[in-house]
Structure 1
Amino acid sequence: MGGAGGSKIVVTTRKNSVASIMGNFPTHELKGLSHDDCLSLFVKCAFTDGQIKHYPNLVKLGDEIVKRCGGVPLAVRALGGFLFRKVDEHVWVSVRDNEIWKSKEDRILPVLKFSYDELPSYLKQCFAFCSLFPKDFEFNNRELIQFWLAHGLIQPSSQNQDLEDIGNEYITELCSISFFQDVQDCKFCVYFKMHDLVHDLAKSVAQFEQHTLDAIEKINSNEVQHVLLSGDDPEEVLTLLQKITKLRTILFRNGGATSLSFVTTCASKFKYMRYLDLSDSSFEVLPSSIGNMKHLRYLSLLRNKRIKKLPASICKLYHLQTLILAECSELEELPRDMGNLINLMFLSITTKQRALSGTENGLECLISLRSLLIYACNNLEFIFEGMQNLTALRTLVIVGCPSLVSLPTSVKHLPALENLVFGDCERLNLMDGDGDSEDDIQGSSSRLCTFIIGALPQLEALPQWLVQGPTTSNLHCLGINGCHNFKGLPESLENLTSLQELRIGDCPQLSTLTEGMHRLTTLKVLSIDDCPELSKRCMPKIGEDWHRIAHVPEINIDGESIKWTTNN
């Protein structure tokens, strides 16, 4: 409808019949990769560096396997990932001689099905559940792990294994055989997608009853467990859902204005619900009947701009693992007994409260909490002092809280803390209550890997506990951005013996690096943006600070990559 005169339409398809029907011009058939390109791709997927020369027989078998792939890169990558780290020749021979190659018409689906069949049972379940999301859906590791957890798909093999770590291992395994692709690692989240053929495979192997928006009118089975709906007209499907009693999951494809009556029906009817995503809903009060959903593991009210109150009964959801309240800008306060949610692992909050917790059974009692996001709390001035009780907390993010003046001293003593982010908190002074005593510094977290601060105009220097004491041994990433009064990096920065990334942006008063920068031998990435004086001093050859950073492999200054070798 929006095409101007002279526009062209390109139709892509895997079927010649579709191409012949749609085309006004001769079909252009894309050929497969050349054998050499396929073999190069296969070797990258199947072998580690330096492994090829030790296993010449495997390389020869790989060459024969590649010939059978017909130049299809997805098949090459899937099999290469499957054979990665497998050095038993019998395994490679079984792939080469497998019956999947008997299909002359399609080389992709049989290969993908073979890769699926070889997965361990726990991964098969996790993969199949991905079919509940629409094609071209952009997954991220945190949300997918929460989804898997809600359905009991992640099980530790020993007591000491963390469920989130296991979930990330599952994702890595599925990426290695190309069941996930277009992977982007953005520090706290890894984003990825499923190829549409892989999605078709997931749907075909799913061993549970599910329906999508397109088939919702055909639901006639009480065995349906998972539904994917449009957020535009949930009321129209409510009567159809009434006859289903075993519903476990409701997903909304486009978000939508979910009404109070819809939520009330869900809460009273679907006793076995585990995953309820009510993002972009528009009711003012969550019904108290939500407390009846005893099996609920995941509840999201993300971006509900009208909700003002949560019922006390929400604290009876003892099995709840994920609660998303971010961008609920009218939410007046959290329920008093949040501490009853003893299995809660992921919590995000937007509230109008002036102080968080302060009750005997509040947030400080969430002993299972792994991730806490406090976002856009405009009135928030104080955070509970008992934060040191959150012994499982690994990620703490506080962003968009302009009234927040200081943090409880217990923040730096969280024993499991790995990721710490502060941003857009104009009154926050990280130096308040920093403590100069040796005991205070030595008591800081030793597991902190990532520390990012942004848009903190009060910040003039880094806290002492960050660059001294146990914290220094494990910090990998340090980011400072939009701190207009930040004046200098401390000399003790050289204590960060594991630092791999240092990113500095929009800190105009920062004019020089520390003398000991050359001692940061583990530093791999240095990025400097919008720091005029500092950028000049770090220019290759002519900059006064260049000798301090010349050893860093990747240097980016104001968006330009600095290419430099000692031979230059």
Structure 2
Amino acid sequence: MGTVATYNLKGLSHEYCLSLFKKLAFKEGEENLYPNLLEIGEEIVEKCKGVPLAVRTLAGILYSKVDERKWKFVRDNEIWNLEQKQGDILPALKLSYNQLPFHLKQCFAYCSLFPKDYEFISSLLVQFWMAHGLLQSPDNEKQELEDIGELYIKELMSRSLFQDAYADASFGYTFKMHDLVHDLALSIAKGECSVVTKTSTLATGVCHLSILESGQEVTTQLERLSKVQTIIFKTEQPMSILKACISRFKYLRVLDLSDSSFEVLPNSIGSLKHLRYLDLSLNYEIKQLPDSICKLYSLQTLLLGGCSNLERLPKGIRDIIRLRFLILTTKHTCLSEKAVGCLDSLRFLMIGRCENLKCLFEGMEGRLTYLRTLIVDECPRLSSLSLSIKHLTALETLAIMDCEELSLTEMEGEDNQDLKLSLQKLLIKGLPKLEVLPQWLQGSANTLQLLWIEECENLKALPEWLPHLKSLHSLRIAACPNLSSLPEGMEALTALRELEIRDCPDLSRKCREEDWHKIAHVPVIYLEWTRFPIEKEDSVSE
């Protein structure tokens, strides 16, 4: 119920797994008679990743067998390829899967397309599911599809089908699937989702592909298919394969070309009328997008992050009116209404690593009314957002990081006192020109839950209205050396649960001494020079 910290049970150590494996795979006293099998057994144990039931399953398959070929077969095959009986690992895992409602079974199976140890980004996986229409329609008008996708992820986590969740800098989070859970997804999705190699055998009805290798063997396999809706290129491919996929698979919904080095895209890409998800991330060669891309009227997700040589966006991009999720790196100096006119439906916008960018959103007054997340990162010349905060009534998450020329003063409106905003999370980091927090933050007095301020060396004082943020539960202040005190009335922040102050020597000292009464009510406090959270019973000197 949360009365004490959660204890996360770890997997069995390699030493104990190996001991268990020896006991179950060999007859008593015989393990030392077969050193060659023991060596293979160590590699099999690694495959189990600390799960005792997996050790028991694989050891049981090999019990009393001394044929080295059979041991290598177990070592080299996915667990779902091995014959198992009731009570073994895969049937046991499948019990969790069988309890899932149908829509979650579909979403889980699609995750088999990604490799083992893949780090899923929550927001992108939701977009991937959305592209295939896997998210149920909302029960009420206010609920967004993105919220439904987040609920799906949390449900799969609660059933231990996802694990190792970590928050990232922009308030999203990443997670992984255990190798054995990935094997389960493979076993469920085979026939519909396939990983393509030179030696793979594809069912004719397969719809979703992750292509790990290139060559004529791969091309030949693709020629047998016709119903493909997903293509994820996980290795560099020639233009000929891309053109062949575009011409053959007219019902593509997801096309992932991330980490590729195509200098141009074929004009034929505009023929993919059903395409909803296009990923061109980290393509350092591409300079322009073909004008035909503007015919992708169903496109919901466009990922252009890390495309550092992209000179411009096509003029007709304003016609992609269903776009909900956009990540952009460009050589543009100004993103104006003329350059990006497709923002009316956007829910998520990230603009990062734009070295030439000087202004944002020029002429876009009132165009971002559905925007919920805005991230601006590593734009060293950006001096103006040209943005009036009063129109961003749906904005929930705002992160502005490493923009040396930005002060945020231009975001002030004329009637900040009457603003009614929905902002819940705000991260300000690496803004040396920021001297005061913007007044418009008061418009989120009833909604702001998380406020992080980092590396703002010229921020001189925290505003006297800071205690008005009644919903604030996490406050982090780091590397702001000119801050020397907290404002009066911090005791009013009764919702505050975590306070972190580091690399602010004067502020940290004062919080330990004369300002301690302002923060004594906060359950968890991290101050400079402390390794562990200060608890209520600890003395100030600690």
Q: Distance in 2 between the 1:535 and 1:490 partners?
A: 17
| Superposition map of 1:17-56 within 5 A | 17=25, 22-23=37-38
- SS at 1:106 equivalent: coil
Q: Distance in 2 between the 1:234 and 1:297 partners?
A: 27
| Superposition map of 1:175-194 within 5 A | 175-186=157-168, 188-194=171-177
Structure 1 counterpart of 2:145, from 163, 166, 169: 163
Deviation at 1:200, TM superposition (A): 2.1
Residue 204 of structure 1 pairs with residue 192 of structure 2? no
1:295–1:317 Cα contact (<8 Å) kept: yes
Deviation at 1:73, TM superposition (A): 12
Deviation at 1:213, TM superposition (A): 3.8
- SS at 2:265 equivalent: coil
Q: Which amino acid counterpart does residue 386 of structure 2 have in structure 1?
A: P
- Calculate percent identity across the aligned residue pairs: 48
State the match for 1:280 in structure 2.
259
State the match for 1:544 in structure 2.
514
Q: Distance in 2 between the 1:486 and 1:567 partners?
A: 30
Structure 1 counterpart of 2:337, from 354, 358, 374: 358
State the match for 1:326 in structure 2.
305
TM-superposition CA deviations, 1:65-90 (whole Å, max 9, x none): xxxxx99699xxxxxxxxxxxxxxxx
Larger deviation, residues 482-491 vs 158-167 = 158-167
Q: 1:24 to 1:298 in 2, by over 3 A?
A: closer
Q: Distance in 1 between the 2:445 and 2:406 partners?
A: 23
TM-superposition CA deviations, 1:410-435 (whole Å, max 9, x none): 24431110000111111112012513
Q: 1:72 to 1:499 in 2, by over 3 A?
A: farther
Q: 1:14 to 1:261 in 2, by over 3 A?
A: farther
2:368–2:391 Cα contact (<8 Å) kept: no
Residue 374 of structure 1 pairs with residue 351 of structure 2? yes
Residue 500 of structure 1 pairs with residue 500 of structure 2? no
TM-superposition CA deviations, 1:438-479 (whole Å, max 9, x none): x3442352x10001111101000100011x23x111000101
Q: Distance in 2 between the 1:25 and 1:219 partners?
A: 27
Q: Distance in 2 between the 1:422 and 1:178 partners?
A: 34
Q: Which amino acid counterpart does residue 196 of structure 1 have in structure 2?
A: D
State the match for 1:557 in structure 2.
527
2:357–2:379 Cα contact (<8 Å) kept: yes
Q: Distance in 2 between the 1:25 and 1:192 partners?
A: 30
1:444–1:465 Cα contact (<8 Å) kept: no
Cα RMSD for the two superposed structures: 3.1
Q: Distance in 2 between the 1:381 and 1:25 partners?
A: 59
State the match for 2:283 in structure 1.
304
Larger deviation, residues 452-461 vs 375-384 = 375-384
State the match for 2:440 in structure 1.
465
Q: 1:502 to 1:397 in 2, by over 3 A?
A: same
Deviation at 1:314, TM superposition (A): 0.8
- SS at 1:314 equivalent: helix
Structure 2 counterpart of 1:423, from 393, 401, 404: 401
1:414–1:444 Cα contact (<8 Å) kept: no
Deviation at 1:517, TM superposition (A): 1.5
Q: Which amino acid counterpart does residue 300 of structure 1 have in structure 2?
A: D
Deviation at 1:107, TM superposition (A): 5.0
Q: 1:112 to 1:25 in 2, by over 3 A?
A: closer
Q: Distance in 2 between the 1:536 and 1:440 partners?
A: 34
Deviation at 1:408, TM superposition (A): 2.0
Deviation at 1:23, TM superposition (A): 1.8
- SS at 2:186 equivalent: helix
1:282–1:305 Cα contact (<8 Å) kept: yes
Q: Distance in 1 between the 2:220 and 2:177 partners?
A: 33
Residue 106 of structure 1 pairs with residue 81 of structure 2? no
Deviation at 1:271, TM superposition (A): 1.1
State the match for 1:124 in structure 2.
105
1:365–1:390 Cα contact (<8 Å) kept: no
Q: Distance in 2 between the 1:14 and 1:140 partners?
A: 35
- SS at 1:383 equivalent: strand
TM-score calculated relative to the size of structure 1: 0.78
Q: Which amino acid counterpart does residue 123 of structure 2 have in structure 1?
A: R
Q: Distance in 2 between the 1:410 and 1:557 partners?
A: 35
2:231–2:255 Cα contact (<8 Å) kept: yes
State the match for 1:222 in structure 2.
204
Q: Distance in 2 between the 1:408 and 1:444 partners?
A: 20
Q: Distance in 1 between the 2:311 and 2:472 partners?
A: 41
Q: 1:417 to 1:364 in 2, by over 3 A?
A: farther
2:313–2:340 Cα contact (<8 Å) kept: no
Q: Distance in 1 between the 2:157 and 2:391 partners?
A: 35
Residue 451 of structure 1 pairs with residue 430 of structure 2? no
State the match for 1:4 in structure 2.
none
Q: How many aligned positions are there? A: 481
State the match for 1:348 in structure 2.
327
Deviation at 1:561, TM superposition (A): 2.6
- SS at 2:490 equivalent: helix
- SS at 2:156 equivalent: helix
Deviation at 1:209, TM superposition (A): 2.6
State the match for 1:535 in structure 2.
508
Give the gaps of 5 or more residues in structure 2.
1-13, 46-50, 56-83
Deviation at 1:355, TM superposition (A): 1.1
Q: 1:508 to 1:118 in 2, by over 3 A?
A: same
Deviation at 1:183, TM superposition (A): 2.3
Deviation at 1:207, TM superposition (A): 6.5
TM-score calculated relative to the size of structure 2: 0.82
Deviation at 1:105, TM superposition (A): 6.5
Give the gaps of 5 or more residues in structure 1.
1-7, 31-69, 75-102
Deviation at 1:260, TM superposition (A): 3.1
2:388–2:411 Cα contact (<8 Å) kept: no
Q: Which amino acid counterpart does residue 211 of structure 2 have in structure 1?
A: L
Q: Distance in 1 between the 2:358 and 2:385 partners?
A: 9
1:249–1:276 Cα contact (<8 Å) kept: yes
1:379–1:403 Cα contact (<8 Å) kept: yes
Deviation at 1:348, TM superposition (A): 0.5
Q: Which amino acid counterpart does residue 462 of structure 2 have in structure 1?
A: L
TM-superposition CA deviations, 1:81-133 (whole Å, max 9, x none): xxxxxxxxxxxxxxxxxxxxxx9863543332222222111111111111122
| Superposition map of 1:285-296 within 5 A | 285-296=264-275
- SS at 2:491 equivalent: helix
Q: Which amino acid counterpart does residue 155 of structure 2 have in structure 1?
A: E
Q: Distance in 2 between the 1:339 and 1:534 partners?
A: 48
State the match for 1:141 in structure 2.
122
- SS at 1:23 equivalent: helix
- SS at 1:389 equivalent: coil
Residue 516 of structure 1 pairs with residue 516 of structure 2? no
Q: Distance in 1 between the 2:123 and 2:188 partners?
A: 24
1:386–1:410 Cα contact (<8 Å) kept: no
| Superposition map of 1:223-238 within 5 A | 223-230=205-212, 233=214, 237-238=218-219
Residue 525 of structure 1 pairs with residue 507 of structure 2? no
Deviation at 1:340, TM superposition (A): 1.4
2:456–2:480 Cα contact (<8 Å) kept: yes
Residue 405 of structure 1 pairs with residue 388 of structure 2? no
